[in-house]
């Protein structure tokens, strides 16, 4: 406890999923948490939970793909706090679009606007709030940024670009005391998974989760809190000599080249349930 005492941390996509979990973890570690999202009702619900638990939080409705909104957001945070110490660029979207020759151009653009442009804009306007005293940035990438998913070329491209963009920040600002790393989650139990694959109550959602048990050596989907604690490590002094790196937190999915016998042999299941 207390790893982020007296720190100001900004989190985008903070209303649900990984962003929500990270906001709660940061608040528990003593940070003043500033959470932004386009989902106003969920945003306020998350903020209420943090306050009820004794944390300090401010909320802003922001579409990270829109420059004027991000610039205005940065101005408000600067006016209220004067600086920030941590930035988690978490906001993002995903959707299956088919093979590349079938992929809708408008869908490709939409994903780049939110995932990649949003990460750039937030960095562009919030890095100046770190220049005096330094800070840490974490960009939410994905294992799909280093590898790839079928029929999701837009998402794969955006997340791959985020990983390399993170390295640009690291080398541009290392001597100003600003560290930048990315985190690459595997398949995490979030509302986005419910939207893409179905909920736990739906047949498609149950089938998706069961199939993913076979893929991850750990034998399950990840929890948002497991990504949140990785982000905490990356913004805290525990990782003070780490910058320009991508941390994959995927339950081991990317540890093998072909699942082979692991998929066919179900004897391990009894050890993970």
d(CA 184, CA 9): 20
Residue of 60, 125, 155, 173 marked catalytic: 155
Extract the runs of DSSP E, i.e. beta strands, from 62-140.
Answer: 86-89, 135-140
**Helix, strand, or coil here: 37?**
strand
Average pLDDT of the residues in 81-87:
98
Query: Could you tell me the residue ranges of all domains in the chain?
Result: 8-190+222-253
pTM here is 0.92
Assigned CATH topology for domain 8-190+222-253: Rossmann fold (3.40.50)
Predicted pLDDT of residue 242:
98
Predicted pLDDT of residue 263:
63
d(CA 56, CA 189): 26
Q: Which of 250, 254, 230, 246 is nearest to 164 (CA)?
A: 246
Q: Which of 208, 252, 202 is nearest to 226 (CA)?
A: 252
Pair 262, 214: CB distance under 8 Å? yes
Average pLDDT of the residues in 179-207:
85
Q: Which of 110, 199, 120, 215 is nearest to 152 (CA)?
A: 110
Lowest model confidence (mean pLDDT) among 116-130, 153-167, 231-245, 258-272: 258-272
Give tens-digit pLDDT for 108-155. 999 999 999 999 999 999 999 999 999 999 999 999 999 998 899 999
Is 80 exceeded by the pLDDT of residue 45? yes
Predicted pLDDT of residue 208:
79
Residue 155 annotated in active site: yes
Predicted pLDDT of residue 171:
98
Predicted pLDDT of residue 214:
75
Task: Quote the mean pLDDT of the chain.
Answer: 93
At residue 269 the predicted structure's pLDDT band, cuts being 50, 70 and 90, is: low
Predicted pLDDT of residue 145:
95
Is 70 exceeded by the pLDDT of residue 43? yes
Average pLDDT of the residues in 6-35:
97
Q: Which of 181, 143, 189, 130 is nearest to 10 (CA)?
A: 130
């Amino acid at each position: 406890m207390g790893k982020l005492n007296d720190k100001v941390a900004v989190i985008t996509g903070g209303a649900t999923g990984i962003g929500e979990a990270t906001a709660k973890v940061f608040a528990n570690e003593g940070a003043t948490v500033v959470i932004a999202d386009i989902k106003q009702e969920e945003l306020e619900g998350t903020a209420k939970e943090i306050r009820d638990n004794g944390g300090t939080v401010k909320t802003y409705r922001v579409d990270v793909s829109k420059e004027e909104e991000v610039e205005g957001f940065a101005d408000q945070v600067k006016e209220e706090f004067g600086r920030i110490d941590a930035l988690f660029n978490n906001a993002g979207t995903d959707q299956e679009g088919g093979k590349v020759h079938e992929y809708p151009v408008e869908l490709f653009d939409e994903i780049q606007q939110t995932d990649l442009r949003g990460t750039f804009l937030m960095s562009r306007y919030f890095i100046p709030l770190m220049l005096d005293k330094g800070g840490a940035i974490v960009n939410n990438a994905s294992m799909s940024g280093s590898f790839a998913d079928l029929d999701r070329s837009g998402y794969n491209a955006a997340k791959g670009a985020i990983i390399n963009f993170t390295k640009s920040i690291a080398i541009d600002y290392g001597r100003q005391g600003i560290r930048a790393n990315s985190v690459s989650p595997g398949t995490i139990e979030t509302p986005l998974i419910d939207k893409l694959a179905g909920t736990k109550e739906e047949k498609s959602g149950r089938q998706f989760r069961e199939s993913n048990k076979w893929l991850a050596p750990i034998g399950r989907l990840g929890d948002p809190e497991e990504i949140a604690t990785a982000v905490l490590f990356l913004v805290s002094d525990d990782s003070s000599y780490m910058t320009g790196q991508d941390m994959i937190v995927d339950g081991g999915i990317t540890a093998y080249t072909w699942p082979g016998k692991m998929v066919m042999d179900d004897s391990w299941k009894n050890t993970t349930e």
